[in-house]
A and B are shown apart, each in its own frame.
Chain A
């Protein structure tokens, strides 16, 4: 599944281990979207996600001497996931999601959608639906949220999720399953959400 240019990552990693900041920053540019999105979906706050992402890269640079090879992205996401957990624990709760008022018009527009034609949804409804999904995600227990984010938003395979989280494969499976079960129950209150995507299913 990983389409990462692993060899190139490895080369940049070994340069980084010698203290080559420029090489490390190329790794940062390559993986910053992954790390930022993991933090964003876990914290639900853009500001918290930015802070945590930056902290994660600083921590990764300092720890890179201890990286023993393997998938660099998994290693990086693991650091980021730990950062996020620390952050959530420190605040004893999830940070409040950015309120609609704080967002610029550009950010309120939902449509950085992967699919430019979002099916049956009207564009105006998109933002509201995204909020509902974000809120549902926020209500999941932290571990189930992490499992769902990694599987469904980051689209990692189970082996990589196990690497990132440090969980056994069976735990990965069970947390994905439980997280999705909760979401499905949650969305029974919003049948319009799943309707369009159900219709696509043959």
Chain B
């Protein structure tokens, strides 16, 4: 940054001494530096003048802009802290308050998406458990089929899967995954973890059925769908839950993007 001082050349030669001037005004010169600086001052009228001026400046600033009393008490009330207990956070981290409302909305969406997805998965599990001793492999296929027919045109499967992953990774309340893990784990060990994964790849196949894929997998898929029609037909509430999950996940992603943009602006 170029300095706009009256005598740039002189200033450059005096750059070192200028910092001595400031430090001297602030009483921050070490004893050895003080001696050096005083020796210099004796022969340099410019620095004497600068010292004189800078002392006056410091006094003037303090006098013209004196400390104001706090206009009110800034004591915290429990209401100001609602929903956020004191948690360790680095002092240097910039505040998240940027889009406070956006973030709150995002959190609600996140919870909504997670809850709807879990409800959806729990219902599927209940159906399979009641519907007979289906192999977990087939069950996963059914889940994918159901999702395919439910969200065929909205291509919402990938976002939903993303939401499920994010719901677990990010700051969703720790209670949710634990609660969900219990019943699901007992009913069909290991399957809940597969469900979101199974959704994504099969969802990706959906737009191009039979075009590039080998006949066996397509046939399997069809067979599964047909055989499932009787016992595991899509229920209206499943569709509703799936749509709620997809809508929440989409809205949440949008809100998150908006929040991120505003806080980094």
**Interface set of A (CB-CB < 8 Å, partner B):** 16-17, 19, 21, 24-25, 28-29, 32-33, 35-37, 40-41, 46, 50, 53-55, 57-59, 61-67, 75, 78-79, 82-83, 85-86, 89-90, 110, 112-115, 118-119, 126, 129-130, 133-134, 137, 141, 148, 151-153, 155, 157-158, 166, 173-174, 176-178, 180-185, 187, 193-194, 196-198, 200-201
Contact = CB atoms under 8 A, between A and B. Distances in A.
B7 interface: no
Contact of B63 (A35, A118, A198): A118
Interface in B58-84: 58-76, 78, 80-81, 84
B76 A21 contact: yes
12 contacts: A29-B75, A36-B74, A50-B71, A59-B97, A63-B87, A66-B90, A78-B91, A82-B94, A83-B95, A114-B66, A185-B4, A201-B59
Nearest to A112: B66
Contact of B65 (A36, A41, A65): A41
Contacts of B94: 82, 85-86
A59 B62 CA distance: 29
Given A177-B21, A180-B57, A185-B5, A54 B74 contact: yes
Contact of A200 (B3, B59, B85): B59
B258 interface: no
Contacts of A114: 62-63, 66-67
Contact of B67 (A37, A83, A115, A176): A37
Contacts of A187: 57
Helix, strand, loop or mixed for chain B's interface?
Answer: loop
Contacts of A158: 23, 26, 28
B91 A79 contact: yes
Nearest to A172: B28
Interface stretch (B48-56, B113-121, B171-179): B48-56
B133 interface: no
Interface in B21-37: 21-23, 26, 28
B13 interface: no
Nearest to A133: B64
B89 interface: yes
Contacts, number: 184
A176 B21 CA distance: 11
Contacts of A59: 95, 97
Given A33-B69, A61-B81, A79-B91, A176 B55 contact: no
A64 B64 CA distance: 35
Given A19-B86, A90-B265, A200-B59, A53 B65 contact: no
B88 interface: yes
Contacts of B155: none
Nearest to B21: A177
B97 A55 contact: yes
B92 interface: yes
Given A59-B97, A79-B91, A197-B56, 4 more contacts: A114-B62, A114-B67, A133-B61, A184-B54
Nearest to A158: B28
Which of A63, A119, A134 has the most chain B CB within a 10 Å cutoff?
A: A63
A82 B92 contact: yes
Given A33-B67, A173-B19, A153 B84 contact: no
A58 B68 contact: no
A176 B22 contact: yes
B88 A155 contact: no
B98 interface: yes
